[in-house]
Amino acid sequence: MLITFFRSIILYIIVLIVMRMMGKREIGQLQPFELAIAIMIADLASIPMTEVGIPITQGIIPILGLLIMHLLISVINIKSTKAREIICGKPKILIAKGKIDEKALRKERFTINELEERLRSKDIHTLGDVEYAILETSGEVTVIQKPGKRTVTTEDMNIEADYEGIAYDLVVDGRIMYKNLEKIGKNYVWLEKEVNKFGYKPEEALIVTIDGKGQFFCQKKEG
């Protein structure tokens, strides 16, 4: 029992390291070869995790082999457009100039109902609002709405928007984020002075953030 426990921990760490080295992607954004590798890694890890009689190296070595394969394919994809098309496929236009391409739907085994479902997930409730819909190689559907249906922006209205910048966490659960203080060119003395305005010390705060406009959000920890 104890051996299985430690084997599970070792394999978990190995799989975690390998998945981190493969890069950051959401499951819905995985390319087909990435999804295949992820499934195989999970399968390879599960066998030596439960079967004590199988050497743990028989799980680790194939997983590292798949990592090398992934890195190799990634390099090939960067270097060769043709290879990328073969491995990952090409985006397909499902709706062009407001007209549904039935041939493309059939080829990609996409139903009208599924297309409508994907559009609704992007807050588009009628096909008549769509100028272009493109099925990406990851399976995501990118939508370009007709000009009259697009959300009005400040640029459209000739309004110059204020720069918002990025918000920084300065205190999280009573812990001071010194690196973030350095990024905004401030120190603890300044932070303490600002938080004191809310009636408590930085160490007593659940969260303290500052946005690009210099506005604070503070909340004190309970108890």
CATH number for the domain including 107? 3.30.240.20
Report how far apart the first and last C-alpha atoms of the chain are (Å, whole number): 42
Shared domain for 81 and 43, answered yes or no, is yes
User: Residue 162: pLDDT above 70?
Assistant: no
Q: How many residues does the chain have?
A: 223
> Of the residues 86, 109, 134, which one is the last residue of a structural domain?
86
Shared domain for 14 and 79, answered yes or no, is yes
Q: Are 220 and 200 contacting, i.e. CB atoms less than 8 angstroms apart?
A: yes
Compute the CA torsion angle 22, 28, 32, 35 (nearest 10 deg): 50
What confidence tens digit (pLDDT) does each residue in 78-135 have? 888 788 878 778 889 999 988 999 898 888 888 888 888 989 998 888 888 899 999 9
| 105 in any annotated domain | yes
| 55 in any annotated domain | yes
pLDDT at residue number 161? 66
Work out the pLDDT band at 194, boundaries 50, 70, 90. Answer: very high
Q: Are 130 and 122 contacting, i.e. CB atoms less than 8 angstroms apart?
A: no
| Domain count across the chain | 3
Domain range for 208 is 168-220
